[in-house]
Structures are given as structure tokens and as C-alpha cells.
């Protein structure tokens, strides 16, 4: 039972809750996970491997300068279609097409709350299945009727 709880608790730390925090474009990171929200005027532009109608991109910054941001893209939000996942395709986006920068970070309170709920749920399920319950010992012999 303890090993199951330890396994669940340990695995919860591999799946953290992430949040995005807006940052000023002037302090955009030179590396790390970010989300770039594009201007509506950029929807008609084609960005090499990810195509057009791009509303936002998520991924890792590879390079940044005064005129563009190069990143390995993992997710694309489209203006007219469903979101699409990518596997690190490198894309360069001009700065004049970017409306906002957001930096991804671990939301510790939310991660701890989710972990607590998962572990609590696992303990409740284990207890309801009878694991860890004290079994009553029945007396052998007479059944109480004579």
C-alpha cells in the first residue's frame, strides 16, 4: 500500500500545472518556454513549416534579436481552425507580427493541490476496497442458536 502511494505521489511531480505570465517584449527571454500571441494582421502571413492563420505559438526560444524571434514550436493556435501540435519545428517570427510575450512557469500551488487530490483519491479508493481495514475475527463454535 505504501509503495502504491509513493509511486502515485512521485509520478505526480512529473506532470506539473503550468501557467503563462505576460512579460514586456523588451525583457523577452533568450531561452525557455514562451507563448507568442500574434497580431491579427499577421494571420495572412505564412510562417514556413507551421503555415498561415497563426494566432499564437508555444515553444522554446532558440534565438532572439531586435527584428525576430526564432523558436522550436510545440503548439500552434490558429485563427480559423483547431489548435495543432508540432514536434520542435524551427520557425522565425518577425517582431512586428508579435502582439504579446508570455513566459511559461510551474504553478506550484495548483500543482500541489492536484497532487493532494490524486493521492487523497488513491487512499480513499484503497480504503474503500478494504485494504488496510481491520478484519473482524468470528468466533468459531456455536452459532448462538440452540
Domain regions of the chain by residue span? 2-10+107-128, 18-105
Q: For residue 137, is pLDDT > 60?
A: no
Q: What is the pLDDT of residues 76-123, one digit of tens each?
A: 999 888 889 999 999 999 999 999 999 887 767 776 777 777 777 777
Taking CA atoms, 123 is separated from 4, 20, 84, 131, in Å, by 9, 32, 37, 9
The torsion angles phi and psi of 37, rounded to 5 degrees, stand at -95, 130
Measured CA to CA, the distance from residue 52 to residue 47 in angstroms comes to 6
How far, in Å, are 10, 11, 29, 72, 132 from residue 57 at the CA level? 31, 28, 15, 10, 49
Say what the pLDDT of residue 35 is: 93
Give the pLDDT of residue 145.
Answer: 55
104: which residues sit within 8 A by CB, 6+ positions away?
18, 19, 20, 32, 33, 34, 35, 58
pLDDT at 34: 92
User: Averaged over 132-139, what is the pLDDT?
Assistant: 53
pLDDT above 80: residue 37: yes
Specify the pLDDT at position 83: 87
Share of the chain above pLDDT 90, in %: 40
Strand ranges for 11-97 from DSSP E:
18-23, 32-38, 54-64, 68-78, 84-94
- Answer whether residue 135 shows pLDDT above 60: no
**Mean pLDDT across the chain:** 80
Look at 12 and 45; give whichever has higher pLDDT. Answer: 45
How many Å apart are CA 52 and CA 84, to the nearest integer? Answer: 12
Closest CA to 106 of 17, 22, 11, 33: 17
Alpha-carbon distance 100 to 109, whole Å?
25
Amino acid at each position: 500500500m505504501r509503495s502504491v502511494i509513493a509511486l502515485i505521489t512521485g509520478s505526480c511531480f512529473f506532470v506539473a500545472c503550468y501557467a503563462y505570465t505576460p512579460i514586456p517584449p523588451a525583457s523577452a527571454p533568450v531561452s525557455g518556454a514562451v507563448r507568442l500571441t500574434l497580431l491579427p494582421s499577421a494571420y495572412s502571413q505564412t510562417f514556413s513549416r507551421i503555415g498561415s492563420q497563426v494566432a499564437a505559438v508555444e515553444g522554446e526560444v532558440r534565438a532572439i534579436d531586435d527584428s525576430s524571434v526564432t523558436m522550436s514550436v510545440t503548439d500552434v493556435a490558429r485563427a480559423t481552425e483547431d489548435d495543432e501540435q508540432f514536434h520542435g519545428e524551427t520557425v522565425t517570427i518577425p517582431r512586428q507580427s508579435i502582439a504579446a510575450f508570455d513566459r511559461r512557469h510551474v504553478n506550484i500551488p495548483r500543482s500541489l493541490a492536484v497532487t493532494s487530490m490524486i493521492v487523497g483519491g488513491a487512499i480513499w479508493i484503497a480504503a474503500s476496497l478494504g485494504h488496510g481495514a481491520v478484519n473482524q475475527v468470528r468466533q468459531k463454535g456455536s452459532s448462538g442458536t440452540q
